[in-house]
């Protein structure tokens, strides 16, 4: 990590709220559901499908988790009313998994019942490694009851190939819906790849394993080189169109995914929104060297 990167990363939590909000603007749709739906409509008009995410994590109590559920249900209802091709994606600790696994199951179960009635699926996201076991157990329990539930798996974790091998058996003719990511959390080197090349190689191998098992893979990346390697594999192996799409983050390398769309590749855009935008935006800014440089220089000038 270069000196600017280190400096800017360290100063991110100190940036005053209004400035941070401005910097965050490119990564989030806004603070309200209405703004997020407007963003999804706009993307759909351009040919992109969508993912709706209410920002937040680590909720501390049942009332807060139930309020999150209510917001997600309303989001799904509005997606259906407006004829959008989008699904909702939820962090387990936003449903209080870290404190009460039964409550988290109950809330996902309720959301899945609501969404399947609307013809929509739901995705269980993956957070940092202390939550991995509980998230996988939660997913297995949900998958036993609902077909329309998907999962996120993180290629950087050494355990991931074994977790793929242990995925619940899909019903005959069915398939798992897996979003493959590199993993946003900087995990310790005892349990995870930490360098770009091994992470990329693991991602590619794990996608191939999932396809070989007949599963659907949402290739969630902005890594052009890795994406092309995967597309070569898709073409070589005649992997059918219904077994993959690309998933990308709002505000990150838009010209790249615009070009994917032009080439006829299916692209789904992750649209985060809500008042809890700060932690998410800091994670995104940490990954953007140019923006970080500007932040560091700005802090010097101040």
According to CB under 6 A, which one of 132, 221, 234, 271 is a site residue for ligand FAD? 221
The answer to whether the CB of 187 falls within 8 A of the CB of 152 is: no
With CB under 6 A as the contact rule, the residue among 129, 222, 265, 278 that binds ligand FAD is: 222
Q: Does 94 bind ligand FAD (CB under 6 A)?
A: no
HSE value, Cβ hemisphere, 13 Å, CA-based, for 173:
0
Considering the complex, what minimum distance in angstroms separates the CB of residue 180 from ligand FAD?
A: 9
**Residue 248 in contact with ligand FAD, rule: CB under 6 A:** yes
24 is an interface residue for ligand FAD by CB under 6 A: no
- Take residue 169 and report the two structure tokens written for it: 């058996």
**Among 128, 188, 194, 181, which Cα is nearest to 155's?**
181
Q: Does 287 bind ligand FAD (CB under 6 A)?
A: yes
Residues 6 or more apart in contact with residue 202 via CB below 8 angstroms: 155, 156, 160, 193
At its nearest, how many Å lie between ligand FAD and the CB of residue 222? 4
What track of x and - describes contact with ligand FAD for positions 153 through 182 (by CB under 6 A)? -x--------------------------xx
Closer Cβ to ligand FAD, 160 or 221, answer by number: 221
Tell me if 278 contacts ligand FAD by CB under 6 A.
no
Nearest to 169 by CA among 215, 219, 203, 202: 215
Closest CA to 72 of 42, 36, 28, 99: 36
Q: Is residue 185 near ligand FAD by the rule CB under 6 A?
A: yes
Q: Quote the CA–CA distance of 252 and 110 in Å, as a whole number.
A: 32
| Residue ranges that bind ligand FAD, judged by CB under 6 A | 125-126, 152, 154, 181-185, 220-223, 247-249, 252-253, 270, 284, 287-288
């Amino acid at each position: 990590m270069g000196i600017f990167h280190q400096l800017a990363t360290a100063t991110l939590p100190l940036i005053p709220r209004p400035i941070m909000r401005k910097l965050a603007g490119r990564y989030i749709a806004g603070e309200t559901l209405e703004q997020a739906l407007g963003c999804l409509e706009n993307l759909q008009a351009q040919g992109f499908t969508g993912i709706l995410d209410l920002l937040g994590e680590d909720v501390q109590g049942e009332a807060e988790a139930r309020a999150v559920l209510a917001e997600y249900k309303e989001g799904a209802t509005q997606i259906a009313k407006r004829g959008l091709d989008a699904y909702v994606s939820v962090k387990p600790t936003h449903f209080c998994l870290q404190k009460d696994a039964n409550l988290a199951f109950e809330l996902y179960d309720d959301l899945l019942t609501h969404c399947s009635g609307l013809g929509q699926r739901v995705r269980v996201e993956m957070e940092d490694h202390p939550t991995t076991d509980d998230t996988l157990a939660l997913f297995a329990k949900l998958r036993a009851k609902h077909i329309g539930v998907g999962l996120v798996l993180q290629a950087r974790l050494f355990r991931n190939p074994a977790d793929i091998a242990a995925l619940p058996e899909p019903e005959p003719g069915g398939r798992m819906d897996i979003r493959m990511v590199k993993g946003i959390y900087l995990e310790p080197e005892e349990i995870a790849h930490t360098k770009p090349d091994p992470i990329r190689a693991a991602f590619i191998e794990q996608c191939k394993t999932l396809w070989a098992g007949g599963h659907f893979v949402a290739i969630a990346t902005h890594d052009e080189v890795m994406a092309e390697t995967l597309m070569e594999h898709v073409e070589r192996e005649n992997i059918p169109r219904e077994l993959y799409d690309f998933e990308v983050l709002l505000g990150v390398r838009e010209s790249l995914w615009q070009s994917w769309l032009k080439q006829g590749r299916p692209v789904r855009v992750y649209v985060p929104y809500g008042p809890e935008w700060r932690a998410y935006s800091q994670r995104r800014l940490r990954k953007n060297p140019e923006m970080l440089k500007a932040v560091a220089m700005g802090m010097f000038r101040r």
